[in-house]
Each structure stands twice: as C-alpha cells, then as structure tokens.
C-alpha cells in the first residue's frame, strides 16, 4: 500500500511538473570581433563596457566570433584576449569575413584555415565556425556541401544562429546619425534595441517549436557594437523577465541541432528559418524587423523622432 501511494505521488508530480523544455533558453553570441570604431566609444572602451555589462547581467559565458584579419595591432589582440579572461569564449568567423557565394569552396576553406591558425593556440577557443553573413552558399549546393564536408574534416561544427534582430543595422544607423550631427534619443534607442531582440527570440522559439516540436537552447546573433556595450544588461534583464534563461554557448551547441544540415533551395539565414523552409512551413520564416526598410523606419521615428523616408 505504501509503495502504491509512493508510486501514485511520483506519477502526480511528473504529471504536473513543467516539461523539461518548457523553460526558454538562449545563449548570447557576438560577431565581427574586433569590430571597428562605432558611434560612441573607442574599441577599448566598448570592450570594457561590454565585459562590465555582461558581468552586471550575470552572464557566465558569451561567445565572440572572431575575424583575425581585423586584428591589426597588439591592442586588437588584447581586446580578444580580454573577453576570454572575463570568462567568455572565442570561435571562428573567417579570417576575412567573406561571402561563400562569391568564392570557390577551396578559397573559402583556405580563409577558414588562416583564421584557425590564429585562433587554435589561444585560450578560450571553441571549434565552431560561423558563416559570415549567415551565407552557406546560396543556391550552389555543390559549394555548400563541399564546405560542410571541409568543416567536418577540420573538426569544426556550424556556429549556427537561431534568433536575430539585425542589430548591425541599428548600429550603422546610430553611426550615420552621429556623423550627421543628429540628436539621438538614447532612451528610445535602448528600448528599441531591447524590444527588438526579445521579440526576435520569441519569434524564433515559436517557429522552432512548430518546426521541430520543441524549444531548443537558442543562439542569439548580436554584434560587438557600441549599442550592445550600452544596453546588454538591459537586454538580459528583459529576456529574463520574458521567461528566458541565459545559458552558455557550450550548452547551446551541445544540442542535437549541431548536426543539422538543412537542404533548402538557397542556404542563407538562421537555422530556424532553414529548418522551417525544409519542413515546408510558409514564409515569412524570419522576424519582421530583419526587413531593413521596416527597421530603418522604426529607428527614424522612435530614435531620431523623424518622419520615416517614403
């Protein structure tokens, strides 16, 4: 009788416990390290603020995808090393940040090899490669498959993205506004940045659940920007308030999705989009603010308080 009651209690606990994948999880990743000077800070000040913001937000580990071809000085190398000393990890984004659809597979893999020569001996390095521009070869399936095979032969896995909000464009709009002497509403910029990326994460999660039947640990694409340096702690706070747990990139890339190789008409975009396309889900399969015309209009209206361009 006691054993039966204990069994019944255990079954009830399982019935009412949240599903293992009910918690939304996301890792933060930053592309184009070391990035050029932005709208507000020197490269050194930006890195300092970004590290401080991640620490304030209690983000144990973010991943920085590095273009070693942008490391023009010992100071640039020190920026990369500084992220690792702060507990973060680094991975390959190509030596020269090239479009695969503009190169032969052999030349593209040679550029990856050049990056790996710089990255491999460094502390914090992970064997992940992220395609610049998320360009996996477009419509050229032979080139796509040759690079996929080349990565596997090198022991590299795809540093895929599942959620993005085109923060690179928001940063460029801020740079352009600053150069033009326009007044930037910094509180509005913060709100737009945070709102956009929380919405992007939620959109990706809903689409991924429809596509693969579960909520995986997501990977958010950010860039090493001045806006991130200013508002990363605000973004993390908003993600948590929205029900997200911030996980490490190590956790995210341990998911079975790491072996996904979608076969779609044109290989370019987030893994969420590609998997949904492969399954036959209808467009749009991307978050609406990745439409640059829409994003530019929102920035003009909300951050610059201008009428958007027609």
pLDDT at site 36: 94
Output the pTM of the full model.
0.92
Phi, psi of 262 (to 5 degrees): -60, 140
pLDDT for 17 beyond 70: no
pLDDT at site 82: 98
Contact 303, 184 (CB under 8 A): yes
**Chain-centroid distance, C-alpha 246:** 13
Give dist(CA 119, CA 95) in Å, integer: 10
**Mean of the pLDDT values across residues 124-138?**
98
For residue range 199-258, list pLDDT tens digits in order: 999 999 999 999 999 999 999 999 999 999 999 999 999 999 999 999 999 999 999 999
Neighbours of 278 (CB within 10 A): 15
pLDDT for 1 beyond 60: no
pLDDT for 43 beyond 90: yes
For residue range 262-290, list pLDDT tens digits in order: 999 999 999 999 999 999 999 999 999 99
Give dist(CA 115, CA 85) in Å, integer: 20
**Mean of the pLDDT values across residues 62-85?**
98
pLDDT for 12 beyond 60: no
The pLDDT-based confidence of 105 (bands split at 50, 70, 90) is: very high
SS3 sequence of 202-224: HHHHHHHHHHHCCCCCEEEEEEC
First-last CA distance in the chain = 75
**Mean of the pLDDT values across residues 178-199?**
98
**Mean of the pLDDT values across residues 25-52?**
97
**pLDDT, averaged across the chain:** 93
pLDDT for 4 beyond 70: no
pLDDT for 30 beyond 80: yes
The length of the chain, given as a count of residues: 310
Q: Is the dihedral of CA 254, 255, 261, 262 positive or negative?
A: negative
Show Cβ contacts of residue 187 under 8 Å, excluding neighbours closer than 6 positions: none
pLDDT at site 22: 57
> Which residue has better confidence, 37 or 20?
37
pLDDT at site 307: 86
For residue range 205-214, list pLDDT tens digits in order: 999 999 999 9
| Backbone conformation region of residue 304, classed left if phi is above 0, alpha if psi is from -120 to 50, else beta | alpha
pLDDT for 14 beyond 80: no
Domain ranges of the chain: 20-302
CATH topology of domain 20-302: TIM Barrel (3.20.20)
Give dist(CA 206, CA 279) in Å, integer: 15
**Mean of the pLDDT values across residues 160-167?**
98
Residue 105, CA distances (Å) to 138, 141, 147, 151 in order? 13, 11, 6, 11
- Return the closest-CA partner of residue 220 out of 192, 191, 199, 241: 199
């Amino acid at each position: 009788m006691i054993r039966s009651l204990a069994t019944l209690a255990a079954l009830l606990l399982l019935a009412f416990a949240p599903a293992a994948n009910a918690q939304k999880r996301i890792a933060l990743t930053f592309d184009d390290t070391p990035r050029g000077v932005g709208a507000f800070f020197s490269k050194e000040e930006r890195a300092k603020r970004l590290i401080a913001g991640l620490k304030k937000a209690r983000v144990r580990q973010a991943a920085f995808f590095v273009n070693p071809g942008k490391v023009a000085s010992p100071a640039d190398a020190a920026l990369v090393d500084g992220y690792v000393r702060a507990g973060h990890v680094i991975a390959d984004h190509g030596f020269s940040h090239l479009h695969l659809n503009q190169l032969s597979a052999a030349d593209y893999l040679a550029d990856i090899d050049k990056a790996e020569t710089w990255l491999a001996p460094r502390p914090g390095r992970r064997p992940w490669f992220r395609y610049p521009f998320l360009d996996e070869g477009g419509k050229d399936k032979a080139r796509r498959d040759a690079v996929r095979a080349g990565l596997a032969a090198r022991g590299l896995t795809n540093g895929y993205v599942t959620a993005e909000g085109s923060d690179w464009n928001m940063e460029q709009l801020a740079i352009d506004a600053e150069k033009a002497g326009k007044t930037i509403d910094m509180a509005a910029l913060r709100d737009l940045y945070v709102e956009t990326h929380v919405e992007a994460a939620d959109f990706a999660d809903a689409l991924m659940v429809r596509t693969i039947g579960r909520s995986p640990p997501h990977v958010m694409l950010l860039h090493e920007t001045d806006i991130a340096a200013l508002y990363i702690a605000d973004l993390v706070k908003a993600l948590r308030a929205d029900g997200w747990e911030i996980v490490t990139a190590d956790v995210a890339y341990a998911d079975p999705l790491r072996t996904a190789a979608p076969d779609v008409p044109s290989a370019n975009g987030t893994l969420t989009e590609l998997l949904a396309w492969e399954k036959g889900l209808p467009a749009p399969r991307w978050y609406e603010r990745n439409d640059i015309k829409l994003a530019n209009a929102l920035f003009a209206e909300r951050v610059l308080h201008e009428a958007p361009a027609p």
